[in-house]
Amino acid sequence: MKRTLAEAPLEESFECLVCNKVMLRSEQTSTCSYCGKSEVADYQCPDGHYVCEECRLSTAEQLVKTTCKHTKEADPLKIANLLMKHPAIPMHGTEHHYLTSCAILASMRNLGLFDIDPIQIDKAAALARIPPLGSCALWGACGAAIGVGIAFSRALKANIMSGEERSISLNLVSESLRKISKLGGPRCCKASVILSLQVAKKFLTERYGAQFDEGNPICEFKNVEPCLRKSCPFYHE
């Protein structure tokens, strides 16, 4: 008869959430790959990745906000990918709306382009939570694309009386929606996030000279149904 985890002792090795390598038991002090906290690790990846106990138990929103407030990463797609690998972020869902906006704000801060304080990240997350599940279909507006607009609006301090700042936010959302609409369906939140962040990165490069790694992103979440597979520009076999 097959033994279950309830019948056998806990395994001593688990796969790293960040890179899937086998993590081994540890008693070294490690730094959390999400929030940056240092603590004595129970499991550590051979490449140094570690997820602290608090981040393992976090809600999606806590995780996104904490990570984006502390990360030193400048590429918003790398920030988003790290977040999307955590079990708190499901394959599809409204979590992708606010992780897009928070990742962009963190990137802008780390590039030295804008002074983004933690309250800005909290406010962006609160706004980006508003589009409901399925807003892409119900509103004709994907929440990840709206997240781009929210991030730039916060950074540029746009309001209804603004001129260029408001136009930039609207244009970036429009461009993100255009790219997502061209992908076709069914919806894929991962692809929507990648496309929206590509729009954001392109703008940051053209407007502010930001430098990012070149190359077409490869989706690390493929084949989870309903995957677009070869119809998706980020699919790789």
Partner 1 sequence: MICRILRHASPDASMNEAIEEAILVARHEGQPLDTVHIWQNGKAAILASNADVRTSVDEAACKSSEVAIVRRAASIGRTTYQDDGTLNLTYVIDQKRFFPDTDSLTEAYGRLSKPAVEVMSSLGVSVEVPEYAASLVVEGRTIADAWVRFYYDLMFLQLSINVQTDLNAQGRALKQGTGFTTLSREVNRTVEIEDVQRALIQSIAKHFGVAFQEENLSPLEKKLAGRLHQIKYSRDDWNFEGKAPLSLKDVLVEVYVAYPPTKSCRQIIENVGSATRDLKDRVETRIWMRGKGLDGHGSPPGMPMSIALTEAAKQAIVPAVVVNGELAFSRDVPSAEHVERKILQALER
Residue 23 or 191 having the CB closest to partner 1:
23
Asked if 226 interacts with partner 1 (CB under 8 A), we say: no
Tokens of 142: 């994907």
Place of tokens 């309903």: 226
Residue 47 or 53 having the CB closest to partner 1:
53
Q: Contacting partner 1 (CB under 8 A), which of 22, 29, 48, 53? A: 53
Residue 223 region, left (φ>0) first, then alpha (ψ -120 to 50), else beta? left
Asked if 86 interacts with partner 1 (CB under 8 A), we say: yes
Residue 91 or 111 having the CB closest to partner 1:
91
Coil/strand/helix, residue 38? strand
Nearest to 144 by CA among 227, 84, 86, 204: 84
Asked if 57 interacts with partner 1 (CB under 8 A), we say: yes
Asked if 179 interacts with partner 1 (CB under 8 A), we say: no
Q: Contacting partner 1 (CB under 8 A), which of 77, 82, 84, 88? A: 88
Q: Contacting partner 1 (CB under 8 A), which of 60, 84, 188, 227? A: 60
Rg from Cα positions in the chain: 19
Report in angstroms how near the CB of residue 68 gets to partner 1 at its nearest.
18
- DSSP letters for 142-185: -HHHHHHHHHHHHHHT--TT-SHHHHHHHHHHHHHHHHHHHH-S
Q: Contacting partner 1 (CB under 8 A), which of 30, 33, 58, 198? A: 58
Q: Contacting partner 1 (CB under 8 A), which of 56, 78, 123, 202? A: 56
Residue 57 or 137 having the CB closest to partner 1:
57
The 13-52 contact track toward partner 1, x by CB under 8 A, reads -x--x-----x------------------xx-------x-
Question: How many residues are given for the chain?
Answer: 237
Coil/strand/helix, residue 44? strand
Asked if 4 interacts with partner 1 (CB under 8 A), we say: yes
How close are the terminal C-alpha atoms of the chain, in Å? 36
Q: How far is residue 12's CA from residue 25's CA, in Å, rounded to a whole number? A: 6
- Name the maximum alpha-carbon separation found in the chain: 70
Binding site for partner 1 (CB under 8 A): 1-2, 4-6, 10-11, 14, 17, 23, 42-43, 51, 53, 56-60, 86-88
